Structure 1
Amino acid sequence: MEQSELLSVLEKVANGDISVENAMLRLKQQPFSDIGYAKVDHHRGLRQGTGEVIYGAGKTPEQICGIISSMLKHGQHRVLITRLTVDAAAAVSEKYSIDYHPDCGIAVIGGNRPADGIGRVVISTGGTSDIPVAEEAALTAEFLGNEVVRLYDVGVAGIHRLMAHLEEIMSATVIIAIAGMEGALASVVGGLADCPVIAVPTSVGYGASFGGLSALLSMLNSCASGVSVVNIDNGFGAAYQASMINHIGRKNENTLP
């Protein structure tokens, strides 16, 4: 059950459309389902505003289908799956209708939440090689109900490419800066924007980049204020945080007295 569904139940009780007993029955449903290999959290949407997300890596197609079945059965009509391989996606698609993006391993069931954030999430990359991580972030942010602007291949090696998008940068509610190599993009964007910047180091780079560790350390040591950093290649985590920032105003509007 998501928070919007809880509000709907309470409104129906207030209007006399359902009884208090029926409302209690719906709220008392088991908060998770134990299906053996997974304990599927059905109250996460109620607690956090967003339902559970399936991390596809390391799971068999049968396990993923079982988790999806449990989610749908308990009213989670929109499901996001990350790090889903092509082979696993093919197997899952035999049972469920999925919108699959093989370039970043994202799959969606039930479509995206309508964009209802307070502004726009801008996603920028240093280079084209960072796009798979950026698309994981962009598709996650769109699934969570955000308007997304993509600024790809605007790294510091040709900084004029970034400067051509100052309007998008300066009007953003939150920016995700994604880069490998030395990870300098986050500091540059952080020095231009008046909003939170979430830096994502990627594993793109030559040997001394150490699989993204160099970019991670550079971003952690950024001299620009307002820059936070997530783990290497973690586009999903950056998008989730960005969505929370972009919905803070909406959350305050919906807070009951």
Structure 2
Amino acid sequence: MDDVIEVLFDKLVYSCYFEKQRAHEQFIGEHFLGFQICGETHTQYAGGSKEMSANMVVLAKRNQLIRTTKYPSKEGEYQFVSIILDQAALKQYALEHKIVIDKPCTDAKVIFFEPDIFFKSFFLSLIPYIDKAKKATPKLADLKIREAIELLLQSNPDFKYLLFDFTEPYKIDLEEFMHQNYMFNVPIASFAKLTARSLSAFKRDFEKIFKTSPRQWLRNRRLDEAYYLIKHKKKKPTDIYLELGFENLSHFYSSFKHKFGMTTSEI
């Protein structure tokens, strides 16, 4: 059976794999709520990492980078379903329920928790759409998003600070941000957006701080970390090159030798 990534309706995405999927980066533009049906998702994000097993729920805040590696279960299958909680739906909900928050969200950007019976029932209710036993209309999709919001607030009222924080990102400390996120292999434009800058402003501010271009700095920062991990932590290049943002092993080897004048095996 082929691997499947399917958008079942506007805000619901279902993933099904039958062999390990290599780590890849995702830009999370909207809040999303996900449920691991079977298999595991190993997640890396700024400030932490988590191995998400079957029957776990994740709530991820918008505007961040996440890297995931997907592993099928012992039975040979991986299934994950997520529902997007977009700003338009959340603003409408907040308006109707007169929800106003008095402080921005400062909690963790990625929250993992065990679902109660209500959450399990909610995700199980999505199975007919996955199995194509029932077609979802836009109205049904809207109801499912509202149900997800209700369940989150019932499980933890403080989730309102994450869900209903509509403040736009402000310019953040660029140096600190880059040292926390340099390993993510995403376009420079994504780094710019995450720091609340236009691409031109990002490049201008970056060169003022680091005295070099973003691409050059990223390559050197990743290689410096690779040197440290190989020499002092005895890591193998094959185990770290993807985690450090290199697309393939041959590019990593050639870049390493060009910077340090020796191969990884000569250290």
TM-score by length of 2: 0.23
Higher relative contact order (CA 8 A, sep 6+): 2
